[in-house]
Amino acid sequence: MRVFVKNKRNQSLMPCKPQRARLLLKHGKAKIISYLPFTIQLFCATGETIQPIKVGIDSGAKYIGFAITSGNKVFGKGTIELRDDVSNLLTVRKTYRRSRRNRKTRYRKPRFENRSKPEGWLPPSIQSRVDNTINWINKIMKALPEPEITVEVGKFDAAKLKNPDIQGKAYQQGEAFGFWNTRYYVFARDNYTCQICKKKGDILQTHHIIQKRDGGTDNADNLVSIHAKCHADFHQGRIHHTFKKPKQYRETVFMNVLRRQILKRVNCKITYGSYTKIAGDTLALDKSHHNDAIAIAGIKAIKSNPNDVLYIKQFRKKKRSLHEAIPRKGRKIPNRAAKRNAKNTKELKGVFLGDSVSVFGQKGYVSGFTGTSGFYVKTIGGEYITKLGKAYKQVSYKDITFIRHNGFGHNFGHFA
């Protein structure tokens, strides 16, 4: 992948080959200003001829594919994996807060002035992925000189995906129209029959096919009618039953939101998957996020296409300031007492959470510590380091080769 270049005035130049960047750094004519994406800044004046550059972005609910092209050459390509743990983290935080408030001896009256949502509010899990997607697009735009960016977006009709025959007022009425609530609609849909023992009568309850903790919703598709006794026996493991899992439409909702946000916040061209499919088949590219991005960029023929692909994974920074002793910025901890209290600013022998390291010849990032010299190291796929087929959950400090700090673990990337 080409290396991004900035001149002395911090303006973007044409990307250069890694060999040239290595020589510039070796002879002290440039410095590294960013690792993801890898960017250098020149100390000396140079030619600033600019060639047309096109960038393709394959946006998605979990992965972003990008490709940088010029003429009939591919300068670089990669895949970015977005965070998908925001919703679970918010649920855990809510549980802790509710437990803490219940333990308080002094009663606090409920407050309602903070319940209203501002205009344009989005759920935090969706807002996180939207912001990260747009931030990566802007980061690539700033690293290149006057690029022409094309983004593939999706436009879906979730109601028609559920019911292809839906039309007219049925869009507003919904499937539970005419019932007191969704629960009674589920009972009527199942003919007041338990979906485990297939018998009528007794008290009915609704059961979530996909549990709420696993991302299930309260939609009727995810609910079934079960007798109260069968419900208790099922959860206690006395009876076993397999329910048909409903289709999930979260990605379609997110893609609709992302399309509107990109149109509003990013200056770029828009395309859709039907055009990408035709372009990809014309170029004879395998199906992948970065290859789709090459087709999206609008390249007509490929003369040079490097094999290396940059994979970037985003994860939690683990830098929340829960204690007054923790500094809000930087890695410096004022004293030993503060260091002991800094539960979310972990460090061991100069290695911090999220730092890039190499173990047994494999690249990964530090996900935790144990004892005084033990590390938990995971690959970009979230798996533990393996050697000769054996997974090493913990590795010693002597087995680790430090690569670089990763900005408190916000981004981790490597070439494959």
Per-residue model confidence as pLDDT tens digits over 371-388: 778 888 888 777 888 887
Higher pLDDT, 163 or 229: 229
Which residues are within 8 A (CB) of 97 and not within 5 positions of it... i.e. 6 or more apart? none
Are both 139 and 77 inside the same structural domain?
A: yes
- Is residue 159 situated within a structural domain? no
Together in a domain, 326 and 402? yes
Q: Percentage of the chain with pLDDT > 70? A: 88
Do 174 and 308 lie in a common domain? no
The amino acid occupying position 369 is F
257 belongs to a structural domain = no
Whether residue 33 is found in the same domain as residue 63: no
Rg of the chain taking only CA atoms, in angstroms: 26
Residue 134's pLDDT band, with cuts at 50, 70 and 90, is very high
What confidence tier does 110 reach under pLDDT thresholds 50, 70, 90? Answer: low
Do 270 and 263 contact (CB within 8 A), yes or no? yes
pLDDT band at 145 (very low <50, low <70, confident <90, very high): very high
The number of folded domains in the chain is: 4
Residues 6+ apart with CB under 8 A from 57: 64, 65, 66, 137, 140, 149, 150, 151, 152, 268, 293, 296
Q: Which amino acid is at 190?
A: D
pLDDT at residue 193 in the model: 93
- Structural domain includes residue 256: no
Whether the per-residue pLDDT at 321 is higher than 80: the answer is no
The pLDDT of residue 106: 67
Q: How far apart are alpha carbons 356 and 406 in whole angstroms? A: 6
From 30, 53, 55, select the one nearest 18 (Cα to Cα). Answer: 30
Supply the pLDDT for residue 332.
53
Residue 172: per-residue pLDDT: 79
Q: Averaged over 398-411, what is the pLDDT? A: 74
CA pair distance 373, 291, nearest whole angstrom: 42
Beginning with the edge strand found earlier in the chain, give each strand of the sheet holding 395-396 in spatial order: 395-396, 374-378, 362-370, 356-359, 400-404
- Same domain? For 288 and 207 the reply is no
Q: What is the pLDDT of residue 67?
A: 94
Is 226 in the same domain as 281?
no
Whether residue 263 is contained in a domain is answered as no
Closest of 369, 384, 381 to residue 413, by C-alpha = 381
My answer on whether 147 and 61 are in the same domain is: yes
Q: How far is CA 307 from CA 67, 77, 244, 357, 415, in A?
A: 13, 9, 41, 23, 10
With residue 348 as reference, give the H or E element that holds it.
Answer: strand 347-348
Query: Does residue 144 have a pLDDT over 60?
Result: yes
Position with higher pLDDT, 289 vs 373: 289
User: In which domain, by residue range, is 72 found?
Assistant: 54-83+125-153+272-313
Whether residue 196 sits in one domain with residue 341 = no
Q: Is the pLDDT of residue 408 over 80?
A: no
* pLDDT for the residue numbered 178: 81
Residue 55: exposure state from Cβ atoms within 10 A (0-12, 13-18, ≥19):
buried
Asked whether residue 415 is assigned to any structural domain, the reply reads no
Task: Answer yes or no: do 286 and 214 share one domain.
Answer: no
Residue 378 counted as domain residue: yes
Mean pLDDT, residues 357-367 taken together: 87
Q: Looking at residue 41, what is its pLDDT?
A: 93
What is the reported pTM? 0.79
Helix, strand or coil, per DSSP, at residue 74: strand
Please tell me the predicted confidence (pLDDT) of residue 324. 37
Region 347-358 average pLDDT: 83
Q: Which token pair is 220? A: 């009727």
Residue 283 within any structural domain of the chain: yes
CB distance 213 to 247 below 8 Å = no
Q: What's the mean per-residue pLDDT of the chain?
A: 84
Asked if the model's pLDDT at residue 101 lies above 60, the reply is yes
Domain end residue (candidates: 190, 220, 235): 235
Token pair of 413 as six digits: 């990337």
What tens digit of pLDDT does each residue of 149-177 get? 999 998 888 888 888 888 888 887 777 88
pLDDT exceeds 70 at position 362:
yes
The mean per-residue pLDDT over the stretch 60-79 comes to 92
Q: In this predicted structure, what is the pLDDT of residue 226?
A: 93
Residues 366 and 389 in one domain: yes
Q: Same domain for 282 and 338?
A: no
362-369, long-range: CB < 8 A, 24+ apart: 362/386, 363/403, 363/414, 365/406, 365/409, 365/412, 366/409
Is 186 inside any structural domain? Answer: yes
- Domain shared by 37 and 180, yes or no: no
Residue where one domain finishes, among candidates 188, 218, 235: 235
Query: According to the model, what pLDDT value does residue 370 have?
Result: 81
Residue 64 has pLDDT above 90, yes or no: yes
Task: Determine contact, residues 94/164, Cβ cutoff 8 Å.
Answer: no
CB count in 10 Å sphere of residue 42: 17
Q: Which pLDDT band, with edges at 50, 70 and 90, does 148 fall under?
A: very high
